[in-house]
Chains A and B, each alone.
Chain A
Amino acid sequence: MSMPRYLSQIILYFFLTLLLSGCWSNLELRDAAIVSGVGVEKVSSQRYRMIVEMIGAPTGEENTKTMSHTMLSRVGRTMLDIAREMVRDMKRRILFTHAKSIVLSHTMAREDLYWIFDIWVRDQQPQLGAYLFVTDDPVQDVLRASTAYGSSAEFPLSAGMQNIHFISNYTTHTMREFLRDMYGPVNNGYLPMLHIRHDLSKIPLVEYAGTAVIHHNHMVEQLTTRETQGLVWLLGQEKGGAIDVINPRNHTRQAIELTNEKTTLQMNVVHDHLAAHFSLHLEGTVAQDSGGHNMAQSIPTQQMERAIATKVQTILTDTITTLQKKDHTDILSIGLHLYRTHPHVWHQVSPQWDDLFTHAHITTSVNVHIVHPGLARYVYPKIPLPSPPVGFLKVGG
């Protein structure tokens, strides 16, 4: 290729790129306000309040720097309006790219859940790895209290979701997973909930507790922590946690730490009647046994396994009963499973799926297997030590 043609091509590509690319997206950090947390609550019909928590520059002297958090709130009819109006307060462009926690009031969740999703799904802000929460408490208090101990920039609500997997009685649902449920065939979903409680010093703390059940874009009810645990097991999302029982023989407390879980679902739809069976297999190690049993032997182990299985079964049954009889909402992925395995059947029954689910015969079976009894086989000093042999050297006077 000759030199002039080479140069002319370079110039042409440069100008084309200049026109087609987003060089106008250049925005200095000083001209942007980064949002780390969002709260939305309903004020009145068609009017909503959005509260945003912005990450600020460190303030204070060199050795005592703290992160400043700026909270803004605005009322408006649409998300776009509110975000635009906030620019007048902040004097800089608001970016939701780092917003990993979105807290919705329960009123919002019950009445207008799609109000908040529509613009964000279209605009692709915030990121789909963000977490949605529902709260009964004032949204502003939740946002403020969640960063009460925050000396670093990491937003505790979202960071805490990474740490909470091991306790397993809380659902860690990301926005991506929730939107997949809401835009899926069943159109039901669930969201984790937050509550404010006070510690001994009366300082408000935000607690992860409960699950909001979303039925056709509206929150219908909430599950307790116990029922949430059952939900986690039924969905096969167990990643850790512990189960404790009272040994019926000697009324001592025993606990296992779960290390593995497998849930299988079998279902059958015959003449508008749904039957489903959840098989749950749990594995764990002995975490606590205050009864002093020798867990190396099989009988105490089997007794413990049976006791735990019974407790798990009870929790599962309670969860299913709540979802069927009270909430009438299938968030157990039974409908999704039917859609994936038998789509033609799904299309026949989908208009009356809620009814089908409410009257479905759902059973569970639980199998618990203790893999390892732990390091200690039995606990001293409840088992008496053997007497020393005759002639054993006495120590001391």
Chain B
Amino acid sequence: MIIHEISLNLDDNLKLIKNRFGDSDDIQFDYFQLNTLNSTPIKTMAVVISGLADKDQIHPSVITPLLQHIFDPTTSILEEAQNQIIIKNTTCFHELEPCLNMLLQGGIALFFEGLDESLVINAPALPERSIEEPGFEMSVRGSHEGFVESLGTNIALIRKRIKDPRLRFHPCEFGSITHTKLVIAYIEGLTALELLNYVLQKLQSIELDSITSSGEIEQIIEDNPWSIFSTIGNTEKPDRAAALLTEGRIIILVDGDPTALYGPHLFIEAVQGVEDYSSRPYYATLLRILRFISLPVSVLTPSLYISATNFHKEMVPLALIPSFQGFNEKAPFPVSFEILIMLIGFELVREAGIRLPKTVGSAVSIVGALILGQVSVDAGLMTPPAIIVVAISIISGFLLTSIADVVSILRFIYLLNASVFGLFGVIMVTLVTFTHVVSLTSFGVSFMAPLVPLYFSDWKDTIIRMPIRFFRKRPHSIPVQQQTRIKNLPKREGHP
């Protein structure tokens, strides 16, 4: 990239800027003159990108103070200007390109006739939405705040929950076109150094044109990009992000994306809910057990049904044979095809329900219930047992929203194998899946911890959730520099 020096002539600078930005309508040029002691005014040009800089700050905080001051030409004009301008976040540049970069981040650039330096005032007023609860991580108890697209706001949301000077936000920038800002958050003295170095090394090796979302960063830096399992977690809740930081994990915030990435991410977190720690342990444990059971139910039910009815009829109880056979005789399609069509139909309805506007979203549920349920049975296209099997599978999958994509894919893989190989195929896929999953890592940490490798002391917060007073040490699954989490707790009456 060619670097241009700022010219002494305002017109030359104007030409250079127009050369870079073309005829863009949002680049505004304001001209005014600074008064001097020797009555020779200094022509000044203010450049701002409308929509990015705070328009309400330009005149009262920048231009008006400058117009009201009388400059001494024998002293540094820039220093005097910096003293007069109310906003003190200013930078001087000799080159044009960094000056324009600051402009693109909401700065106001001042060019002075006869000076080869520009003064940029940082006054961003980027449009952003208000803080609201994230749609996919709703909770009954606990904070209802969610991250927004503004990186500064997200940092502030975390900072207000961890009021410790050891909380660090390491900045990075990616994308030669988008210049997207990214921040790595960690707690110094707590987060393991090897973990931090691992992440930094991964990020520093990225060179590309554009980054528009955290999902792209996730797919670039994950340890196993070919796996269907995501080894980098994500959250839109600042309270959860703060809790993860205190466990010694690393958070990655991307400007323009409300989704924060975190790692190491463990598979067992799929059964852990958003508000598990806000609720009492008994109900949280019950919900975790339900989620844990719902994973095999959701993935295996269609394939086991096909295996039992097509390959291993001895598995079917005698009492069910007449009804299954009766329905099967009327159905025009093989069982595997029925289940496949139902699952595809459900995926279509689910995707449509997410994308459709709320005003017509209710129609999706009507279509889904009627077409996929009642009408298809009445028309003789589908059999009730197939619908029940798919319904059980889908409803169980609703409990696992964080791995809904994995469950959907696995369901189809199991279905295909069960249709061809029967129960043998189901067992084969299970073995392959287990073998694959135990080999995955997340930022170098085993993805199946604390199951594999076995950290038994961490099991008090896996499928069951013991009371918080048992969490005296941080989980062994995540490497940290400081293990102790709870030093002292109030004693119960009558207990030592």
Contacts and interface: CB of A to CB of B under 8 A. Distances in A.
B341 to A, nearest CB: 16
A365 to B, nearest CB: 44
Interface string B284-326: 0000000000000000000000000111011000111111111
Contacts of A268: none
Interface string A17-30: 11001110111111
A98 B326 CA distance: 17
B313 A95 contact: yes
B265 to A, nearest CB: 23
Contacts of B318: 36, 55, 98, 100, 153-155
B328 A34 contact: no
B424 A21 contact: yes
B378 interface: no
B interface: dominant SS: helix
Contact of A34 (B226, B321, B421): B321
Contact of B322 (A32, A97, A153): A153
Contact of A25 (B328, B329, B422): B422
Given A17-B428, A98-B318, A26 B422 contact: yes
Nearest to A36: B318
Given A22-B422, A23-B420, A57 B311 contact: no
A58 interface: yes
A34 B419 CA distance: 21
B425 interface: yes
Interface in B322-337: 322-326, 328-329, 331, 334-335
A32 B425 contact: no
Contacts of B310: 26-29
A58 to B, nearest CB: 5
Interface residues of A, number: 29
A127 interface: yes
A264 interface: no
Given A30-B325, A55-B325, A56-B322, A97 B422 contact: no
A23 B329 CA distance: 21
Number of chain B interface residues as a range: 20 to 34
B322 A58 contact: yes
Contacts of B320: 153
Given A153-B318, A155-B318, A22 B325 contact: no
A64 to B, nearest CB: 15
A95 B311 CA distance: 12
A152 interface: yes
B328 to A, nearest CB: 4
A3 interface: yes
A28 B332 CA distance: 12
A67 interface: yes
Given A28-B310, A98-B314, A153 B422 contact: no
Contacts of A30: 325, 328-329, 331
Interface string B426-470: 001000000000000000000000000000000000000000000
A28 B324 CA distance: 11
Nearest to B320: A153
Of the candidates B311, B324, B325, the one having the most CB atoms from chain A within 10 angstroms of its own CB is B325
B427 to A, nearest CB: 11
Contact of B325 (A21, A25, A34): A34
Contacts of A154: 318-319
B424 A98 contact: no
A56 B321 CA distance: 8
B322 A98 contact: no
Given A57-B329, A97-B313, A98-B313, A23 B421 contact: yes
Given A97-B314, A153-B318, A154-B319, A17 B326 contact: no
Nearest to B314: A97
B334 A28 contact: yes
Of the candidates A3, A17, A28, the one having the most CB atoms from chain B within 10 angstroms of its own CB is A28
Interface in A43-59: 55-58
Nearest to A66: B322
A22 B311 contact: yes
Given A21-B421, A28-B335, A57 B314 contact: no
A371 to B, nearest CB: 38
A83 B315 CA distance: 22
Given A22-B311, A30-B329, A95-B313, A55 B421 contact: no
Interface in B154-197: none
Interface string A113-156: 00000000000000100000000000000000000000011110
Contacts of B309: 28-29
Contact of A98 (B321, B329, B422, B425): B321
Contacts of B335: 28-29
B321 A153 contact: yes
Contacts of B331: 30
A60 to B, nearest CB: 11
B385 to A, nearest CB: 10
A388 B121 CA distance: 114
Contacts of A67: 322
B313 A32 contact: yes
Given A29-B313, A95-B313, A98-B313, A57 B325 contact: yes
Given A17-B421, A22-B422, A28-B328, A34 B319 contact: no
A29 B319 contact: no
B438 to A, nearest CB: 16
Which 8 residue pairs across A and B have the least CB separation, nearest first?
A57-B326, A97-B314, A29-B328, A30-B328, A30-B329, A23-B420, A21-B421, A153-B319
Given A29-B324, A153-B319, 12 more contacts: A3-B226, A17-B428, A23-B420, A26-B310, A26-B419, A26-B420, A29-B325, A30-B329, A55-B318, A55-B321, A58-B322, A95-B313
10 contacts: A18-B421, A21-B424, A28-B310, A29-B324, A29-B325, A32-B325, A36-B318, A57-B322, A97-B314, A153-B321
Interface of B: 226, 309-311, 313-314, 318-326, 328-329, 331, 334-335, 419-422, 424-425, 428
Interface of A: 3, 17-18, 21-23, 25-30, 32, 34, 36, 55-58, 67, 95, 97-98, 100, 127, 152-155
